[in-house]
Structure 1
C-alpha cells in the first residue's frame, strides 16, 4: 500500500510516459514547451556564471552534485568523503546551500549545538554537524567555503550539490548518477527530471553511480556503457547503500537489524527518491512495506505524524521506519505513540575505489596547485 501526499506525484507517470491517453499526451506537449523556456533560461544563467574566472581556493575542493532533480544519494557520499579527509588529517568543512531552510543569509556552524533547529540551516547540515564537520550554509558556496577556511582552518572542502555552482573552482567534480533513472527520462524539467542538458556532464571529472543493486546488472551495464560512450576517459565509481544500524526515535531500545526480519513496517519519507528507501526497508524486513510519502524536505507537522501513526495502526505495522534526514525534520516536541526507528546508511563501493582514493589523497603543492587525479 502506498499513501502518496507528494505535490508532484501525479507528474512522474506523465514524465516517464507510463501514463497513456490523450490527456497525458497534451500534458507532455505542454511540459515539453515549458522545458524549452527552462533551457533558454538555464543557458543564460550558466553563461553569466561562467563569464568570470572561477575562484580558486588554497585547499582541495571536491564537489558532489548531480544533473537530475530528486534524490541520487549525494548526502551519504559527502559524509563518506568528509570522513576520508578527516582520517587523513585534512580537517574537512562542508559548504552547502541548505535547501529547505528558512531565510537566505550566511550561517557558519561548528557543532550541532550551534544549530537551533533544522529550519535555520536545512536538514543535511544537521547530519554533517552530527558527524563533527563544520558547515557553511550559504547560497554563495564560494563565500561559505572561504569562511570555513578562515574560521576553522579547514584543509579540504566538500561542496554539497555543487555541480551547477561553477563560480568556485574544484579539484574533483563528481556527478552522482542514480543507476535506476540515470538520465531523468532524457528531458529537461518539467518534461523530465534533467536540471541541465546531458551534454553538460562533460564538466564532470568522475561519475559516481549509486543504487546499482536496485537497478540490476543489465541496466547498470547499459548506463556504464552510455557514460563511457558519451564521455570517454571519465572514470566511473559504482556503489550501493548498506544498512549499518537502526536507532530508536523516542523512548525504547534500538533494535538490531536482524531482529527486524519478519516484522511489518511502514516506511515514511520525504525524499526525492522514496522508492529506493522503501525497497531498502523491504529488504531488511523481508516483508511487503506500507509506504507513506511526503514531498522532498517536507517539514513534518503534528497532523502529518498523527496520520502516519494512524496508518501504521490500521496496517498492523510493528515499526515506523524513516531515514536519518527525515528524523532531523521531526518536531522537537514529538513523542511517538508507536515504535519509530531511523535506518543508518553507509556507502559501499562495488568498483572504482581507487578513484575515490585518488580524490582523498589530493594535496596542495607549494605552488598552490592541486595534486593530479
Structure 2
C-alpha cells in the first residue's frame, strides 16, 4: 500500500522524478489486489485512467504547473466526475468511482461495491460508515491519497471517523447541490490536512489558509446537549482534545450552562420527507441557528465526538442514529471536520469533530495541520 500523499506525488511528477503513468499504474495495481476484499469501488477505470495519466505527463512536459500532477483520486459514486472538474484540471487522475449505499439501504452507513458490501479496513465485520463509504476505505487503505465525498447528515465525517482519516464538510450552500433540501454539501477525505488544503484551494479558488494565533479558543461538548453517546467514543474524543490542549493548538473555554442545541433529528427527517409539515422543523432550525451564533461569538471552535458509537456490524446500528452528532451542522450549514482520535477496544478508529463559523474552512484546516505538525494527532497507519 502506498503511503505517499497527494502533495508528494504531485511534486515528484512535476520535477520529473516520477511519471504520472507509473503512479496511476501502481494505484490500479493496489486496487486490483485489495478491492476484492474491501469492495471500496463500484467502478475502476483501468483503461481510461492510464490514458488520462499520459495526458498529464504531456502537460507537465509542456511546462504546465499542475498542483495535483499525476495524483490518483477516487470520486464518490458513478456520478462523481461531475464534481471533480477542478481536480482533473489540476492534473489529478480519477481511477474509479467509490462505493455508496445500494438501493433500499437504510441508515446510509453501508457501501455496495462491484464485489459486494464495503467493509471497514480495520475490521471486515464492521461497517466503514457512509454514505461516502468507499471513499473513506480507499483513502484509509492507501489505495488513493484523496477521495471526494458529499455530506448530507455526516456522510463524509462518519466514515472518516470510523476509517481513521480526515474528512471535511464545507459550508452549506457554498457550492451548487442536487439536493433539493440544501442539506448536502461537498467534502473530501484525505490522510493529511495538507492534502485537504490543496483540495480546498482548488475547489474554492482561495489561497492557502494563513495560520491563526495558537492556541485557538474552543468549547468541548460530549453530547451537544441532547445526544446519548457511548462512553468510549466520548473518551477517545476527549483524549484527543487533551492532546490538542497540551500541544498548544487549542485552549478550552467554558461552555454555556444550558444545553447547547435542540435535537435536530426530527427537523432533519421532516425536511427530507416530501409533504411533511415543516413548522416544527423551521422552529428547531431557527433556535439552533441562534444558539450557534451566540456560541461562536465567544469561541472559535466547537469540539465533539464525531460519532455516538463505534462502528457497528453489517446488520445495522439498531435504534442508534450514527448521525446524532453530525447532522445538526447540515441543518445549520457550519463547516465541520473529523480528525482521527485514536482507536477503541475493538481495534477500530474514532473521530473528533471540529466545527467552525460559516466560511471558516481555513480555520478548521489550519488547526488540523498544526495538530499534525505538533504531533497532537497520531500519524496515520495503513490497515
TM-score normalized by structure 2?
0.24
Bigger-Rg structure (1/2): 1
Which structure is higher in RCO with an 8 Å CA cutoff and minimum separation 6?
A: 1
